[in-house]
Amino acid sequence: MPRTRQMVRDRSPQQNGDSLVGSQDHRSLEGWGTGEDEVAGAILRVFPRPWGFFISIALKRGSYGVPCLRRSASRRQVASLRGSTYRSVRLASSLAAALCGTPFERDRGRHWVIGLCAFLLLLDVSAIAAHDFEVSIVKRRQQGILTGMPFMAHVSSRSFVDDTGRKIYMAKPPARIISLAPSLTELLFAMGAGSQVAGVTQFCDFPPEASRKPKVGYANPSVEVLVGLQPDLILAPREFLKPDLIAALDHLKIPIFIVADHTVEDIFSHIQTIGRMVEHQTEATALAMDLRKQIAAIKELAQGQPPVRVLYVLNSHPLITVGPGSFIDQLIGLAGGINVAAKSGTPYPRLSMETVLLEDPEVLIFPVGQAEGISESEQQSWQQWSGLSAIKQGRVHQIPADLLNRPGPRIGQGLERLAAMLHPSLSGPALHGRP
User: What average pLDDT does this structure show over 43-66?
Assistant: 49
User: What average pLDDT does this structure show over 120-124?
Assistant: 56
- Least confident range of 18-32, 184-198, 273-287, 330-344: 18-32
Q: State whether the Cα torsion 292-298-300-306 is positive or negative.
A: negative
- Least confident range of 113-117, 148-152, 299-303: 148-152
**135 three-state secondary structure:** helix
CA–CA distance, 329 with 345 (Å, rounded to integer):
11
- Least confident range of 170-184, 234-248, 286-300, 353-367: 234-248
* Helix (H) or strand (E) segment spanning residue 67: none
Q: What is the pLDDT of residue 18?
A: 36
Of the pLDDT bands very low, low, confident and very high (cuts 50, 70, 90), residue 89 is: very low
Q: What is the pLDDT of residue 98?
A: 53
Crossing angle of helices 85-100 and 111-147, rounded to 10°:
160
What is the gyration radius of the CA atoms in the chain, in angstroms?
A: 35
| Domain annotation for the chain: domains and CATH numbers | 3-153 (no CATH), 159-260 (3.40.50.1980), 304-432 (3.40.50.1980)
Of the pLDDT bands very low, low, confident and very high (cuts 50, 70, 90), residue 202 is: very high
The DSSP line for 72-93 is T--HHHHHHTTS-HHHHHHHHH
Q: What is the pLDDT of residue 219?
A: 72
- Least confident range of 50-64, 198-212, 334-348: 50-64
Selected residue with higher pLDDT from 277 and 101: 277
The DSSP line for 361-423 is -SEEEEEE-TTTS--HHHHHHGGG-TTSHHHHTT-EEEEEHHHHTS-STTHHHHHHHHHHHH-
- Percentage of the chain lying above the pLDDT 90 cut: 55
pLDDT tens column, 372-407:
789 999 999 999 999 999 999 999 999 999 999 999
Of the pLDDT bands very low, low, confident and very high (cuts 50, 70, 90), residue 361 is: very high
User: What average pLDDT does this structure show over 110-138?
Assistant: 53
User: What average pLDDT does this structure show over 55-75?
Assistant: 47
Q: Would you tell me how many other CB atoms lie within 10 Å of the CB of residue 53?
A: 11
- Residue 433 DSSP symbol: T
Of the pLDDT bands very low, low, confident and very high (cuts 50, 70, 90), residue 131 is: low
183 with 219: CB under 8 angstroms? Answer: no
Cα angle at 166 between 233 and 202, to 5 degrees?
Answer: 40
Cα angle at 424 between 421 and 430, to 5 degrees?
Answer: 110
Checking if the pLDDT of 23 tops 90, the result is no
- Least confident range of 50-54, 66-70, 358-362: 66-70
Q: State whether the Cα torsion 126-127-129-133 is positive or negative.
A: positive
Selected residue with higher pLDDT from 119 and 265: 265
User: What average pLDDT does this structure show over 429-435?
Assistant: 49
Q: What is the pLDDT of residue 132?
A: 52
Checking if the pLDDT of 320 tops 60, the result is yes
Q: What is the pLDDT of residue 12?
A: 36
Of the pLDDT bands very low, low, confident and very high (cuts 50, 70, 90), residue 66 is: very low
- Least confident range of 147-156, 318-327, 344-353: 147-156
Of the pLDDT bands very low, low, confident and very high (cuts 50, 70, 90), residue 304 is: confident
327 with 266: CB under 8 angstroms? Answer: yes
Selected residue with higher pLDDT from 403 and 158: 403
CA–CA distance, 358 with 311 (Å, rounded to integer):
12
> What does the mean pLDDT of the chain come to?
75
- Residue 320 DSSP symbol: B
Q: Would you tell me how many other CB atoms lie within 10 Å of the CB of residue 294?
A: 16
Q: What is the pLDDT of residue 143?
A: 38
CA–CA distance, 268 with 286 (Å, rounded to integer):
11
Checking if the pLDDT of 107 tops 80, the result is no
Q: What is the pLDDT of residue 126?
A: 53
Q: In 62-182, where do the E strands start and end?
A: 159-161, 167-169, 177-179
CA–CA distance, 149 with 142 (Å, rounded to integer):
10
Q: Write the single-letter amino acid at 211.
A: S
Checking if the pLDDT of 188 tops 90, the result is yes
Peptide bond before 173: cis, by omega within 30 degrees of 0?
A: no
Taking the model in full, what pTM does it have?
Answer: 0.64
